[in-house]
Amino acid sequence: MHGFEIASYVQEHSVDVLQVEEGSLYPALQRMLLSGWLTGDWGRTEEHRRARYYRLTAAGRKALQRERQRYERVTQAIARILQPA
10 binds other proteins (CB under 8 A): no
14 binds other proteins (CB under 8 A): no
Looking at 28-36, 60-68, 69-77, which segment touches other proteins (CB under 8 A)?
Answer: 28-36
Q: Which is nearer to other proteins, 42 or 82 (CB)?
A: 42
4 binds other proteins (CB under 8 A): yes
71 binds other proteins (CB under 8 A): no
Number of H-type helices and E-type strands within the chain: 3, 2
51 binds other proteins (CB under 8 A): yes
Q: What is the DSSP string of 35-71?
A: HTSEEEEEEE-TT--EEEEEEE-HHHHHHHHHHHHHH
Candidate list 14, 30, 69, 75; residue touching other proteins; CB under 8 A:
30
Phi-psi region of 81 (alpha: psi -120 to 50; beta: other; left: phi over 0): alpha
